[in-house]
Structure 1
Amino acid sequence: MTRLDTSSNYLRHRSHEILKETAGDLLPRFSVSTKVGFFREGHSLDPARLRRGAEHVVKTLGREPDVLFLHNPEHSAPDAEALAQACAALADTAQAGLCRLWGVSTWDPRPLVDLPAPPCPDVLMVRAGLLVAAGLLEAAESLASRWRPSRVWGMSPFGGSATGSVWERFDPRIFLRGSPPVTKVQAAFRTSFGLPPVDAVAVGTDDIRHLRELSDALAYDVDDEMLQEYRRLLDGRRQPA
């Protein structure tokens, strides 16, 4: 594991300090992505505040992050101008050397779909996996098509829990080619790379066995026809997110 994803507001707004203390001299060996925009008082898209937030990230982390995300801008109910200014502020942080790349991380991309495209982010992060509703999948794919980020990352592939009851009732192994000897968790994780299509998927765990299990799942192939059939069924249901 060489990539870490966090946010300035995790662990009661102390995630950067804790990561720095825990990793110590090993931290430069990792690629670190983090997020700004969710402050102690709530979400904000104010460009000046985002800039200060980016500077605080570098100070508390002790290094520039590889990717700095604008965190859930939909929570601020932005109009086109507010979103464009916030994205421009993040782009400026990359130009200033406060991060290597910048991006947008959105839990619900639907409020952003109809807004004019902002400055093109390097990375777009969206929810991914079998539990993401059809409307959210469409919105994520629409943003990726319109914004044209260099990379699209996924998050929350298990809908919050890899041990939830849904995985007892449903077997995601049907989405893998050749019926490989994998666990349900592995199948759900591997399938999440296609719902929507993403280059990487972030997971949260402190269990090395779980991480190894997910890493091993990358060796298997998704059955594209089964995935397309699932999308058709999902579109037919059209349940609210």
Structure 2
Amino acid sequence: LKDGIIVASLDINSIIVLMTFVIIFAVFLAFDTFKRNEKYAYLAYIVALLPVNFMWIVNFDILGVYLLLFILWCVTLLRDLWGVKQDKKEINDIILYFALAILVQLIITAILPVSIPALLTNTTPWLVFNLPDIYTDTFAFESWVNLDILFAFRLTATLMIILVIVPLILDIKDEEVPLPMFIVIIALFILPFLYLSYLWLPEATAVLTLLMSVMLFIVLLLITRSGKEGELPKKK
């Protein structure tokens, strides 16, 4: 333990394995540069799980592990959003592989600690998933939490969610979206809003999520069309 951060000591074998996983991620991150015209570049979201979960296995600080994972995902999202801007990638493909990577990571958090009980350290169960235990029952910080890492983690998580949500919203700009569909769209964003609210203000998670949902509703009203703008109201 150093300055509130759990630091793992790696032997030469662990260092080589970690470097190998990082290189594999780098290959998929830069896959488009090989000009193979294949979609395997999207696998970077899933391949990013290799180095970070290996670091978790060798007892690195779990919050630092997730900070690194979110950084890798942010870098990959930025790469793909640039591809969308150049009309080389589709936002739907990005969301599909990103969601798949999140699902795989959640499954890993449920399975790995069963085989390696030591991985339960500084985690809390959410259903069957073991995620970082940041807050006490009174919403104070747990004693193991390094506040600098937590702040960086919050910022990175916020950036990651923004990188996902904003392109999706822009994708439906000026589209015909009836008002009832707003409920479906907002429902899709509830989980990210809940997560952000919990990270920043756990004691006000519900009301902050409600506020963000209302703000999204207003944004949708401003950027979408009903398709009936040119119609005259029917006479009774």
How high is the TM-score relative to the length of structure 1? Answer: 0.27
Higher helix share: 2
More strand by share: 1
Whichever of the two has the greater Rg, that structure is 2
Q: Relative CO higher for 1 or 2, CA cutoff 8 Å, sep ≥ 6? A: 2
